[in-house]
A and B are shown apart, each in its own frame.
Chain A
Amino acid sequence: MSKDIKIKKGLNIPLKGEADKVLGTAERSGAFVIKPSDFKNFTPKLLVKEGQEVLAGSPLFYSKDYPEVKVGSPVSGEVVEVMRGAKRKILGIKVLGDKETRYAQFPAADAARMSRAEVKQRLLDQCLWAFIKRRPYGTAARPTDNPISIHVSGFDSAPLSADYDYVLHGKGKEFQAGLEVLKQLTDGPVHLNLHREMNTDEVFKGAKGVQINWFSGPHPSGNVGVQIHHIKPLNKGEVVFTVAAQDVALIGNAFLTGKYDASRTVAVAGSSVKSPKYFKTIQGASISTLVEGNLEGDNNRLISGNILTGTKVAADGHLGFFNKEVTVIPEGDHAKFFITEGWAGPGFGKFSASRSYFSWLMPSKKYDLDTNTNGEARALVVTGEYESVFPMDIYPQHLVKAIMIGDIELMENLGIYEVDDEDFALCEYICTSKTAVQQIVREGLELIEKECG
């Protein structure tokens, strides 16, 4: 039975540089990098050596804790480098792509006619399992999990994020095939969560065999954690799977054609992008191919992912495993004089959820925000601001404090199983005391996973 849910708390940050719904052409990336750090709390074990040839969909590494979970190569070619950091930590596996991609070929399969075990095995064999995340913890799903339901968010409410309707338009067959696969993994329902006020493509509206739920309200209504909480909150001991909508189509395509096709349409957005639009590229592609010649200024922050939860990447960095957009904004690494741009200024160009700057006079203005923290880290003084953007029946500030003091029982009681760090992105944005909330929550989740499994 579908649900209609109104999200009241939250915040839409009006930013300049939203991607136009136009498909640009990007030069094909030479090298592709898959970073184990894109998977949370994941210890990688290598399956390839430098110099080895791989096919698109051949496994590159697997999880130390769940060896069946393998991560595949997005393209065919030669593994040219295993990038390592301190203590020989694996930072990334670089594959020099062939001009024509060769695929690790699997037979086409119809998930609806397969048993659960067969579907699982196929997902694991074809390196598709890595696209499935689990709650609690927001980590890679475990093959032993028996999820009570599976959630797919059909929209992204984060600022400057990719429009799923545009990206998935015309991919109804693949998307439906992906949903059929997911349906085999749970005894419970597969939820497809859509936004009431946004345009919704036929791909989503026409989805069959799933429970469609309608959300309305500001960001973070598109966060799957918020959606789970409102549809049926997670209890200790329960597991829910989540898959991003584009990845559902990828999985569907892999079942229909037998090919691991990691190509995707990404939004290149942000105020530093001259003409923000969409590009067709491949997972792990070099970001420079997407932004070259399209940036204003030379002091920019390149982010793989959205502006609230994405990862900072260098100019020669690569698109993250799960990321569907690249955001570029100016760096704010210059001091701001207090009465002109700083804390005592009128602040016409400063967006604030409070109305303490005169920017409230211009409600429809879009902002060109930089990466400056606009103040220094302080003790948590102001209360009620996290609560104003956190649409769950959880006390966010109390939970954050419980994590800070490492009180596991209190964290459990306050609902840590229901959250992921991305759910706290707006809290971090809005925090007067400039606390690194997402990082704290991630540490809390890692502690809990370590202690309580």
Chain B
Amino acid sequence: MKFLHTAFQNMKAPFEKGGKFEKYNKVLTAIDALETFAFTPEEVTHTGAHIRDGIDLKRTMSVVIMAMIPCLLFGMYNAGYQHYRELGELATASFMDMFTIGLIKVLPLVVVSYGVGLGIEFAFAMFKGHSVEEGYLVTGMLIPLIVPIDIPLWMLAVAVAFAVVFGKEVFGGTGMNILNVALTARAFLFFAYPTFMSGDKIWIHEGMTNDAISGATILGDLAAMKGGLETLRFSAQDMFLGFIPGSVGETSTLAVLIGAAILLFTGIGSWRIMLAAVLGGATMGAIFNFFGDMGIGGGLMQLPFWQHLIVGGFAFGVVFMATDPVTAAQTNKGKWIYGFLIGLLAIMIRVFNPAYPEGIMLAILFMNVMAPLVDHYVVQGNINKRLKRLNVKTA
């Protein structure tokens, strides 16, 4: 691979000091980003720990992307599956027919998300003279997975631009943001273009344009109808496997679990947050079940608590969004509190807010904002312990 390495050196030469295009030296940042993508640099340690762990941010991010691949692939298949099911043509459509619809619709979403997002990242890096950091690699994959299948590409591009600029770069870039960037994009879409992001028509391909398709999600159904569970059109098995309408990548709890397994096994996702969020969700679900069984509230109150965990974006949010280390609580104790409250709030919002039954997004965003507070009290506890020790000594 020496020739490629030389090619990069040659490419950089004219922009370096004394080169022909010296005044455009900001381009170096971009070339450097590509070069460090292709080659781990020859940088060596100088002092202290003379050896370093094999992992770096690129590896970390790529493992997370790998973990999302099952969701992406299933999302593509499910897009076609839901489309043909609503049309009543499920029996005649082949696997490839279904997958192709998803592929044609989802691939452009991924391309636009990465194109716009990375474009802005590169621009900021060049403008501010720092290296391009890898944060967007994961965000760029998350965003297409949490939008409706038919979202216009320009809308996605606007949302990505908003999220990257106002969700991340204004705070100082990767590692400095307060809110989860992908969820910022999603929240922006939800509040800026509500007709495209909620309602019962958008979750299935051509739902908006084809009258033959109804397309409400389970949560939409349950939230809209004051009745009980009798009207539920999907079985728990469908919910778990993911054969239900919803955002591109979030329907299949099974696919999410495969991703979770990868994240947990590699040690990259926080098991504390995941477990705590599931416990939080189950607790809130159980509380609602208690009232639901007494006949209080509608279908969402009666939905068995464990089904809350496998329906909608709950699992996806818990595994891929809540565990974002930058925006989550940073202390181990804090992670328990943070995760538990996300689970609790997600189900609470889901049940109490009929306009927007998918509560996980707002729950995570809210807890993103609260995470530093949670950490503050956890760290303060440690500080107090130390001060107490000192007081005992001086007393």
Which chain A residues have a beta carbon within 8 Å of chain B's beta carbons? 13, 15, 233, 235-236, 238, 301, 303, 307-312, 327, 329, 331-338, 340-344, 347, 350-357, 359, 369-376, 378-384, 387, 393-395, 397-398, 413-415, 421, 425-426, 428-434, 436-439
Contact = CB atoms under 8 A, between A and B. Distances in A.
B1 A429 contact: no
Contact of B135 (A235, A381, A421): A381
A332 B383 CA distance: 41
Nearest to A340: B1
B209 interface: no
B62 interface: yes
A333 B42 contact: yes
Given A379-B173, A414-B379, A233 B59 contact: no
A13 B51 contact: yes
Contacts of A327: 50
Contact of A397 (B5, B62, B176, B330): B330
Given A351-B53, A387-B332, 20 more contacts: A308-B49, A334-B42, A354-B266, A356-B60, A369-B51, A371-B45, A371-B50, A372-B42, A374-B56, A375-B56, A381-B326, A383-B325, A384-B325, A393-B382, A395-B331, A395-B379, A430-B53, A432-B53, A438-B48, A438-B49
B247 interface: no
Interface stretch (B33-41, B111-119, B228-236, B344-352): B33-41
5 contacts: A308-B49, A308-B51, A375-B52, A382-B57, A438-B48
Contacts of A393: 382, 385
B135 A354 contact: no
Nearest to B37: A338
B328 interface: yes
B270 interface: yes
B238 to A, nearest CB: 33
A414 to B, nearest CB: 7
Most chain A Cβ neighbours within 10 Å, of B56, B330, B387: B56
Given A378-B133, A383-B325, A336 B390 contact: no
6 smallest CB-CB distances across A and B, nearest first, come from A375-B56, A379-B175, A350-B54, A438-B48, A335-B39, A342-B40
B266 A356 contact: yes
Nearest to B175: A379
Interface residues of B, number: 60
B91 interface: no
Interface of B: 1, 4-5, 36-60, 62-63, 131, 133-135, 172-176, 265-268, 270, 325-326, 328, 330-332, 335, 379, 382-383, 385-387, 389-390, 393
A146 to B, nearest CB: 15
Nearest to A429: B49
A343 B51 contact: no
B56 A432 contact: yes
Contacts, number: 216
B383 A381 contact: no
Contacts of B63: 356
A343 B50 contact: no
A383 B37 CA distance: 23
A51 to B, nearest CB: 33
Contacts of B47: 311-312, 436, 438-439
Nearest to A148: B393
A308 B50 CA distance: 6
Nearest to A426: B49
A309 B50 CA distance: 8
B44 A333 contact: yes
Given A336-B39, A436-B48, A343 B174 contact: no
Contact of B325 (A334, A340, A382, A394): A382
A240 B383 CA distance: 21
Contacts of B383: 413-414
B54 A337 contact: no
A15 B49 CA distance: 14
A344 B45 CA distance: 21
B325 A343 contact: no
A425 B45 CA distance: 13
A149 to B, nearest CB: 14
Contacts of B387: 413
Nearest to A413: B383
Contact of A338 (B38, B46, B131): B38
Given A331-B44, A381-B325, A393-B382, A376 B267 contact: no
B51 A371 contact: yes
A298 B39 CA distance: 23
Given A309-B49, A379-B133, A381-B135, A332 B56 contact: no
A354 B50 contact: no
A374 B42 CA distance: 8
A236 B5 CA distance: 53
Contacts of B175: 378-381, 433
B375 to A, nearest CB: 8
Given A335-B40, A354-B55, A398-B379, A312 B46 contact: yes
Nearest to A334: B42
Contacts of B44: 301, 331-333, 370-373
Contacts of B5: 335, 337
Contact of B57 (A359, A384, A432): A432
Given A371-B44, A381-B175, A338 B39 contact: yes
A15 B51 CA distance: 10
Residue from the set A329, A357, A421, A426 with the largest chain B CB neighbour count within 10 Å: A357
B54 A359 contact: yes
A342 B39 contact: yes
B266 A355 contact: yes
Contacts of A335: 5, 39-42
Contacts of A415: 382, 386
A235 B43 contact: no
A334 B332 CA distance: 37
Given A355-B267, A381-B326, A376 B48 contact: no
A436 B48 CA distance: 8
B56 A354 contact: no
A189 B57 CA distance: 46
Nearest to A371: B44
Contacts of B326: 381
